[in-house]
């Protein structure tokens, strides 16, 4: 079981008190603490939970939710996964993820992916080196008739839900998700930037529409692309699977995105789809919208007919392209991801 520790600052935020109060509580022995080699106090998850419930401390709803999630994740990870995470051993983690998915283990899948993000493995790497190989293996098992369609659906749903939870946590970190108590409390009007101001700034930032073309139902890769965009500060409008090109044009006219990311998996496109694609590409060009395509289909020679501003073979290539072509410094970058993305990761 993974042991989760909190710092004095984190605990003070949970309890809505100053750090000195937390230190006083621990000096008084009200809450157990551990000290790092550097002399900093660390509080164990279970001690924090015991302290909160024993002393009737009111924790803000979203913080309590985070504590509950952390507890669930901590209970769902075995020691072996913890070691693999610390080592950043992607092959080992892939084997674990496949094992969890094949056994329909929802909590374990959630915990593993979420902790991989916390551990500092970049989102693009998680998709390219962990999720994609595992799901490609699932596809092979399905082709070999070792997995039924129903099982494959359950697996994809468990994975998708885990990915969406990462997306939701990221939104909270960006300050974009509404907080449960936000409707009742008054917003600060002084020098602190209010959520409203933050949102209006964010609204002006580069935005992206993420979508799959008509008849394309595979969208896990697209979710990866959308998370990469989100982690770099783009405002993501996730349109999702199987959208007819004409309808996409309407969405573009409404949203005025900076770019459109489209994912192709199925290797068979009808001649009409190629035609409609080309018309859509010209429409984007006319409106000055950058067009990026990606997905397994791009490995096929016949995909060369699909022109675009950039053809990404992976989420990492998308990340690199965005970093090279956009002034991302201006976007409200998610601090957690920003830090993560600077970590030199073995590729």
Q: Interface with ligand B12 by CB under 6 A: which residues?
A: 127-128, 131-132, 135-136, 138-140, 142-143, 152-153, 156, 160, 215-222, 224-225, 261, 263, 265-267, 292-296, 312, 314-315, 318
What Rg do the C-alpha atoms of the chain give, in angstroms? 22
CB of 62 to ligand B12, least distance (A): 28
Which residues, including other chains, have CB under 8 Å from residue 330's CB and lie 6 or more apart?
Answer: 205
CA torsion 16-199-323-321 (nearest 10°) is: 130
Between 114 and 314, name the residue whose CB sits nearer to ligand B12: 314
Nearest approach in angstroms of CB 35 to ligand B12 is 42
Nearby residues of 256 by Cβ (< 8 Å), 6 or more positions away: 207
Of 104 and 217, CB closest to ligand B12: 217
> In whole angstroms, how close is the CB of 99 to ligand B12 at the nearest point?
16
- For the purposes of burial, counting CB atoms within 10 Å of the CB of 78, is it exposed (0-12), middle (13-18) or buried (19 or more)? middle
134 Cβ neighbours under 8 A, 6+ residues apart: 94, 97, 98, 101
Is the Cβ of residue 263 or residue 273 nearer to ligand B12 in the bound state? 263
DSSP conformational letter for 241:
E
Specify which residues 236 forms β-bridges with: 208
Minimum gap (Å) between residue 281 Cβ and ligand B12:
14
Of 67 and 223, CB closest to ligand B12: 223
The residue among 41 and 129 lying less far from ligand B12, judged by its C-beta, is 129
CB 44 → ligand B12: shortest distance, Å? Answer: 35
Q: How far is the CB of 250 from ligand B12 (least distance, A)?
A: 20
Residue reference for tokens 């602190």: 192
User: Token match 């509080």: residue?
Assistant: 43
* Secondary-structure breakdown of the chain: helix, strand, coil percentages, each rounded to the nearest 5: 60, 10, 30
Residue 122 or residue 294: which is nearer to ligand B12 going by CB?
294
């Amino acid at each position: 079981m993974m042991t989760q520790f909190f710092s004095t600052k984190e605990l003070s935020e949970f309890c809505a008190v100053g750090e000195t109060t937390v230190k006083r509580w621990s000096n008084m022995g009200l809450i157990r603490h551990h000290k790092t080699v550097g002399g900093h106090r660390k509080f164990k998850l279970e001690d924090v939970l015991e302290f909160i419930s024993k002393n009737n401390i009111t924790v803000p709803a979203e913080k309590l939710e985070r504590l509950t999630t952390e507890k669930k994740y901590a209970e769902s990870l075995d020691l072996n996964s913890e070691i693999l995470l610390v080592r950043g051993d992607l092959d080992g983690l892939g084997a674990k993820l496949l094992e969890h998915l094949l056994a329909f283990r929802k909590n374990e899948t959630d915990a593993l992916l979420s902790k991989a993000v916390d551990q500092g493995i970049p989102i693009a790497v998680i998709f390219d080196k962990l999720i994609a190989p595992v799901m490609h293996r699932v596809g092979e098992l399905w082709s070999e008739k070792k997995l039924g369609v129903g099982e494959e659906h359950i697996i994809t749903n468990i994975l998708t839900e885990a990915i969406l939870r990462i997306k939701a946590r990221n939104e909270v970190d960006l300050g974009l998700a509404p907080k449960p108590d936000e409707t009742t409390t008054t917003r600060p009007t002084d020098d602190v930037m209010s959520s409203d101001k933050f949102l209006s700034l964010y609204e002006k930032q580069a935005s992206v529409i993420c979508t799959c073309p008509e008849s394309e139902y595979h969208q896990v890769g697209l979710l990866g692309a959308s998370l990469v965009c989100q982690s770099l500060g783009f405002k993501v409008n996730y349109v999702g699977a199987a959208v007819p090109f004409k309808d996409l044009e309407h969405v573009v006219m409404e949203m005025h995105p900076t770019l459109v990311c489209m994912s192709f998996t199925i290797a068979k496109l009808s001649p009409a789809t190629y035609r409609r694609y080309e018309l859509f590409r010209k429409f984007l060009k006319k409106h000055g919208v950058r067009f990026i395509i990606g997905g397994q289909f791009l490995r096929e020679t016949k995909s060369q007919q699909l022109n675009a501003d950039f053809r990404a073979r992976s989420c990492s290539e998308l990340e690199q392209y965005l970093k090279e072509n956009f002034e991302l410094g201006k976007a409200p970058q998610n601090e957690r991801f920003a830090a993560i993305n600077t970590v030199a990761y073995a590729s």
